[in-house]
Amino acid sequence: MKLTFRWYGEKDSIPLSYIKQIPLMSGVVTAVYDVPVGEAWPASSLEKLKKLCAAADLEMEVIESIPVHEDIKIGAPSRDKLIENYCANIRAVAATGVKCVCYNFMPVFDWLRTDLNFKNADGSFALSYDAEDFKKLDPANLSLPGWDESYTKEQLGGLLNTYKNISREKLFENLIYFLKRVIPVCEEAGINMAIHPDDPPWDIFSLPRIVSNENDLDKIFAAVPSKRNGLTFCTGSFGAGRKNALVKMAGKYAKQGRVHFAHLRNVLWTDGKDSFREVAHPTECGSVDMAGVVKALVDNGFTGYVRPDHGRDIWGEKGKPGYGLYDRALGAAYIAGLFEMAARKLI
Ligand code: DNO
């Protein structure tokens, strides 16, 4: 595996030199952030990012994300042009040495939490999701940091209305329409597409979600069998779903050669159905069998990219929600330890 770290480009408060100091760090996961969703990324922006990484002795082999425009998800007439732009971006990132692209197909909203500053007893802060608090949220006024939105606040209401006519089946059809055009380009360009699961893995605000469990993944891979059509195995996203058997899923999809990227983090199921809180990475801190997942990946031939995922805010840090330095660095060290143990068959 290659250990990586998410970096939000030049505006990120964490310097690349700090990332490089984390043991075994091979590269960063990043994106072009100043181009509206759906448009082509200038080669110059990619070259600049790559140069910055190279100067810090870090690779730039994973992009997270090239966001998918809502018109592609709803199947609007403009989708063909937007898919063309998407393919142009695939070629452009491949030309700078990128090997893997993470993206999601969640309607309207990306990851969702009801509290970005849940205070733990030890004084650290974490992201959390409470099913009761969720009921109080108004989707027409929602936006969280780090979302790849392709709509304005004014367009949000209209978009939510449009989705009233988009069934789960229709959304799935639109995903397959997209993949049937993008995957052949990935085959030519040498890019692995890694779909990110729904976070949390269930429908929200009656919006359909179609990348939440094993059954969903099986359908997506059956419809577009190329191995370039793969997965970001996000333990935190799948792990919030109490019915998802993570160790089994990790082994199964690694064996199929579909796991191109893994987001490794832990969540703790809290009281009440569908509530959870983000915790430190180790297995004992939460509900995800982190060691079991890593072992299943390694035993089944996984050679892709991994990164620690959301960290808590610790040691007084006030990081971008989920993306501070300290706790993610602790996570990276823990993950590296699990991989070492698994490679040596000690777990
Ligand atoms: C949250 C991230 C997601 C992820 C996208 C991938 O922290 O895991 O925002 O980057 O869903 O497209």
pTM of the model: 0.97
Tell me the average pLDDT across 12-22.
98
> Where do the structural domains in the chain lie, given as residue ranges?
2-343
Q: Could you report the per-residue pLDDT of 57-74, keeping only the tens digit for each?
A: 999 999 999 999 999 999
| Dist. CA 190 → ligand 1 center (Å) | 22
Other beta carbons within 10 angstroms of residue 57's beta carbon come to 12
**Confidence category of residue 146, pLDDT binned at 50, 70, 90:** confident
| Dist. CA 232 → ligand 1 center (Å) | 10
Tell me the average pLDDT across 43-63.
98
Q: Could you report the per-residue pLDDT of 112-145, keeping only the tens digit for each?
A: 999 999 999 999 999 999 999 999 999 998 989 8
Active site residue 310: yes
Which of 253, 310, 313, 334 is an active site residue?
310
Active site residue 34: no
Structure token digits, residue 253: 């999809």
- Pairing relation of β-strands 305-308 and 2-6? parallel
Other beta carbons within 10 angstroms of residue 78's beta carbon come to 13
Structure token digits, residue 252: 């199964």
* Cα 203 to Cα 315: distance, rounded to the nearest angstrom: 35
Q: Report residues whose beta carbon is within 6 angstroms of any ligand 1 atom.
A: 64-65, 102-104, 110-111, 146, 196, 263, 310, 322
Which atom of ligand 1 approaches the CA of 196 most closely?
6
Edge to edge, what strands does the sheet with 266-269 contain? 115-119, 125-129, 276-279, 266-269
Active site residue 196: yes
Contact 16, 58 (CB under 8 A): yes
- Candidate from 111, 238, 260 with most ligand 1 atoms within 8 A of CB, to mutate: 111
Which of 309, 313, 327, 334 is an active site residue?
309
Q: Could you report the per-residue pLDDT of 167-202, keeping only the tens digit for each?
A: 999 999 999 999 999 999 999 999 999 999 999 999
Active site residue 309: yes
Q: Could you report the per-residue pLDDT of 76-101, keeping only the tens digit for each?
A: 999 999 999 999 999 999 999 999 99
Tell me the average pLDDT across 221-247.
98
Which atom of ligand 1 approaches the CA of 237 most closely?
8
Closest CA to 338 of 264, 275, 235, 272: 264
pLDDT score recorded for residue 271: 86
Active site residue 100: no
pLDDT score recorded for residue 272: 75
Determine whether domain 2-343 maps to CATH 3.20.20.150.
yes
Other beta carbons within 10 angstroms of residue 18's beta carbon come to 14
The CA–CA distances, whole Å, from 91 to 96, 105, 152, 181, 258 equal: 9, 20, 28, 13, 21
**E strand residue ranges, the chain:** 2-6, 25-30, 59-64, 100-104, 115-119, 125-129, 192-196, 229-234, 259-264, 266-269, 276-279, 305-308
Point out which residues pair with 196 in neighbouring strands.
104
Dihedral of CA atoms 182, 187, 189, 191 in degrees, nearest 10, equals: 80
Residue 148: is its pLDDT beyond 80?
yes
